[in-house]
Chain A
């Protein structure tokens, strides 16, 4: 087992990782930018090293600073959390070369799944349903147009090296195709230095259903069911839940087995998530694989009784996965609390928290790094807390969510707590009948 883990991240996830390290009696090293000097996980870690000025590129994304910090503190493993360097194949590679265990997949696995076109191709070869589309990168315009006709409009042109909605164009009819193709390529070139694009059928108003997988170094790969992350604003998830109201046991089995096949195709090691789109006819299609622990992992933890970060560490240390999946028990919902003003277009609201009271009681979990009088730095994302509730069933979880949100007091900054309360009152949300277009219509 590792003696000392360096946590290459910040905020709530750094604290989350630190907590599990403590339970495993592993020493912890926190790295922080100057803006995070007063961060909670920095205070709780056994050792802390300042690695740079506030901006991410100078600190949490600065590979030499992080490796150096691991070397001077004698850490033997690095946990990258999510975001930042978590899915950076070079970082995984450099850790390996520096004899530091990267708690996550190998550089090759990251590269394989990071290349969207390649990942899709791999899934297809392993009988994982994929969205009908081009076989890899589109070479020429006319071929693409023919294919689009075959697939049937609407189609979407996507950047192979892309993400975050860039280098994407939805095409509703053939007459718009050429222009869309050209602008998508230009945008992709500008954003990712790679103009390669591929083509897919555009699935209107799908549900976003993802499967949590975990693989160890002994060839075992398991899945821990699904999470429904359809409540999104501009492709940013706001509310996630497990199980999904749209997934029955049969569908769960089929999706789970498909996810395991996909992970097996690259001998996956560590925690991973396979994202699917579910259409109105209960067809599921592979979208992408995330080779890291995800923000919304707690909903899976509560329903499947598993500490996923603990499994990550055990697996990285060469042990077998400890927690075998069982049937889902109860229902969990996570509300991402952001320092944003929902009444002003979710404008970021950094500042000092003058008053704070976390909700509590049975079935309430808070993953958060904030404390009273903490000043939220303006340099990073706006996630300040995750409120996760568990109930015997969905209705109970919603009721508990409402109760917990109304006890949650944060003063001095604006938060999305009032927004979440409104969503819980919405008929469509309560019915479980929603898709990724929910917030547009809200």
Chain B
């Protein structure tokens, strides 16, 4: 993978009106997309900020919007509790492939609330919350392996 080439391509997309660029060449493919979102607040100057990343699409935000989002999403670290896996296995959000997930972001939980399953050696182990609070982040993708003590959920303590 030629990093220099990618840097050059990002620069080109950034400084031009091109919004989508995809290149494929001898076993190597890169896709760069740029989303421009204009500011919602009228008093802000009308300069949309475009950012581009190879392969992953990014959303462009104004500085103010970013700050606002951050304040909503990230509670202070002090009242955050990690739920960790007590065993090695595979992480599942729901009891069965077609069933509803045990818990979503924003769900209110209490000690004993089942959050997920970690499957090990064909046994489904239900992982419960040990605190009162609200789920603010799910740290593992459904179906991915987890190791001993790996953080699974971030819970904002009530």
Q: A51 to B88, Cβ gap below 8 A?
A: yes
Residue B19 interfacial (CB < 8 Å): no
Q: A51 to B147, Cβ gap below 8 A?
A: yes
Residue A138 interfacial (CB < 8 Å): no
Contacts of B150 in A (CB 8 A): 50
Most buried by A among B88, B120, B150: B88
A68 to B90 Cα, complex, angstroms: 9
Residue B148 interfacial (CB < 8 Å): yes
B5-39 to A contact mask, C-beta < 8 Å, 1/0:
00000000000000000000000000000000000
Q: A50 to B121, Cβ gap below 8 A?
A: no
From A34, A49, A53, A98, give the contact of B88 (CB < 8 A). Answer: A49
Q: B87 to A72, Cβ gap below 8 A?
A: no
Interface residues on B, range: 10 to 19
Q: B145 to A65, Cβ gap below 8 A?
A: no
Q: B90 to A65, Cβ gap below 8 A?
A: no
Which residues of B85-99 are within 8 A (CB) of A?
87-90
Q: Which residue of A lies closest to B91 (CB)?
A: A72
Give the distance to chain A from B149, nearest Cβ to Cβ, in Å.
6
Most buried by B among A52, A53, A67: A52
Q: B147 to A69, Cβ gap below 8 A?
A: yes
A34 to B89 Cα, complex, angstroms: 16
Q: A64 to B147, Cβ gap below 8 A?
A: no
From B89, B90, B148, give the contact of A50 (CB < 8 A). Answer: B148
Q: B120 to A34, Cβ gap below 8 A?
A: no
A65 to B88 Cα, complex, angstroms: 6
Contacts of B147 in A (CB 8 A): 49-51, 69
Given contacts A71-B121, A98-B121, A65 and B87 within 8 Å (CB-CB): yes
Q: Which residue of B lies closest to A65 (CB)?
A: B88
Q: A64 to B120, Cβ gap below 8 A?
A: yes
Give the distance to chain A from B87, nearest Cβ to Cβ, in Å.
6
Which residues of B105-152 are within 8 A (CB) of A?
120-121, 145-150
A87-117 to B contact mask, C-beta < 8 Å, 1/0:
0000000000010000000000000000000
Listed by A's residue number, 23 A-B pairs whose Cβ atoms lie within 8 Å are A34-B148, A49-B145, A49-B147, A49-B148, A50-B88, A50-B147, A50-B148, A51-B148, A52-B148, A53-B148, A53-B149, A64-B121, A65-B148, A67-B120, A67-B121, A68-B89, A68-B120, A68-B121, A69-B88, A69-B147, A71-B90, A72-B88, A72-B89
Chain A interface (Cβ < 8 Å from any Cβ of B): 34, 49-53, 59, 64-65, 67-69, 71-73, 98
Chain B interface (Cβ < 8 Å from any Cβ of A): 87-90, 120-121, 145-150
12 A-B pairs besides A51-B147, A69-B88, A72-B89 with CB distance below 8 A are: A34-B149, A49-B148, A50-B147, A50-B149, A50-B150, A53-B148, A59-B148, A64-B87, A65-B87, A65-B120, A68-B87, A68-B120
